Every structure is written in structure tokens, then in C-alpha cells.
Amino acid sequence: MIKARITVTLKNGVLDPQGKAIEHALSGLGFGGVGAVRQGKVFDVELAETDKAKAEADLKAMCDKLLANTVIENYSVTLT
């Protein structure tokens, strides 16, 4: 079995109101010097596949087809 972690983040230039609110909340807690905060998503996926190259190709296809909206988001795939 192969385990993977997929990280989905907003592209540069895409407004992130939730990240902004988190940024303000951190400042409110007294954490000085907090720059921009951007919120993203993490998916931990288990695959029955044993071939790493095949698994990686499948995971990328999953990102392109569903897990990420490539209009606004980037993704990265790491086998763990």
C-alpha cells in the first residue's frame, strides 16, 4: 500500500478572505509580525497500488479532476 499527502494551496493573486481573518486573529492574540496567512487543504490518501510512478500519476489525475480547482488552486503530491 502507498500513502500520500496532497497539499492544495491558493494560487498567488487569489484573494483569501479566510486567510485574512486568521491573520487578524493571530495579531489579536498578540503574535506580532505575522505577515500574510493563506489557508489551504491537506488530503492523506491511501492507495492499494504498489507501483510508485503509477500511484503518483493517479494522484495527480485525482487532483486535476477533483481535489483541486486549478483555476484558483495549486497542488503538490508527496508519497509518505
Partner 1 sequence: MKSAVVLLPGLNRDRDMIAALTKISGKPPATVWQTDTEIPDVDLIAIPGGFSFGDYLRCGAIAARMPVMRAVAEKAARGVMVIGVCNGFQILVEAGLLPGALMRNTSLKFVCRQVKLEIANANTMFTRRYQPGQIIRSPVAHHDGNYFADADTLARIEGEGQVVFRYAEGTNPNGSINDIAGIVNEQGNVLGLMPHPENLIEAAHGGSDGRALFEGALGIAA
**Interface residue list for partner 1 (CB under 8 A):** 13-18, 21, 65-67, 69, 71-72
Q: How far is the CB of 48 from partner 1 (least distance, A)?
A: 22
Q: How far is the CB of 28 from partner 1 (least distance, A)?
A: 15
Q: How far is the CB of 53 from partner 1 (least distance, A)?
A: 25
Query: Looking at beta carbons only, is 14 or 79 nearer to partner 1?
Result: 14
**Whole-angstrom distance, CA of residue 27 vs CA of residue 45:** 34
Burial state string for 51-77 with b = 16 or more CB within 10 A and e = fewer than 16? eeeebbebbbebbeeebbeeeebebeb
